[in-house]
Structure 1
Amino acid sequence: MSLPFERMRLLRARSGLSMRAFAALLGSPLDTRYAYYEERRFTGLLPIDAARRIAAALHPYGVEAREVLALAGLSDDEAAADIAVQAPTVQYLRLDVAFPSEEALTRMFETMLEDEVPAEHRDALARTLARRLPSALQRATTSPPVPVRAHWPAPGEDAASPARRRGPRRPGSHI
């Protein structure tokens, strides 16, 4: 019987993903929690929450959830029951959408922007949004998903700048 870290590494390798790519798929940097599960010092049971996340991420790549849940110490029957409980209740499907006229979309956007944008800018912005919405949605359906930042600044909160803030230079000090 192979060790837990070897079985975890084998399951991930069967997906065809590198360790770095799989850690990114889980939403964690490689140097954090996931890498530990493939290191020699990982000899215990996989925490059940981690096993569920890993199983869900590996499922689209042909790895059965029961194999991952076995690393958490669940028997086949327990894994089957856990999978049934964790089954998603949402289904996604792609639909073709017919938009109303550009004038109707403009009125809709004007109403939506009424409390947000001053009147002198609202009409032009509403017309621009109405004109661009159909083509923007078309492009969005054919492009890959955009990664989401873990933390968005709250309204009114400035995003942290990676640049250091310095005071003004003294005249003649830049030579």
Structure 2
Amino acid sequence: MLFQEINQLITYDERQRMVPSDRDRLTALVDSARAQDPTDYTTLRALGVGLLVLGEYGDAIDHLDRALDLADTSGRRIAASINLADAYRYSGDAAASETLCREMLALARKEVPEMLYFPLQHLGKTLADLGRRHEAREVLHEALTLRMTEGDPELIARSQAALRLLDN
């Protein structure tokens, strides 16, 4: 529930980074969840994403690390790790982001192939941030192909937007 509420308050800026669509509402939601001192995977991950979007990278990393410690499936491990990779990337540590994305890409290829598009998309964005445009384009095209197979218009649009950024 919290994750859905937070997602409804997220939009994307011109660099395709998550930003709040309503900062005051997102801040209130995050503050309320944080005050409850959560200890479960789902709430910690949602709170970590909310903090990331608000630019509170240190707290986001802390909450996402705690969620990762509680991840009881490969899918949950991938989800929390990719959110953590974004926290590192947004805070300026693209090298740590790349490492996490590559680890989760390997895990997805081995254990959760239906999630491959997720680490691919975020690896592509990380490579773009590192100025490795050719590699980024290859990875993002793979993510787009998988997303087109899935047929989710929102995910397809995000991959297309990330590819367009490489043309600028």
Same fold (TM over 0.5): no
Could you tell me the TM-score, scaled by structure 2's length? 0.26
Higher helix share: 2
Which structure would you say has the larger Rg?
A: 1
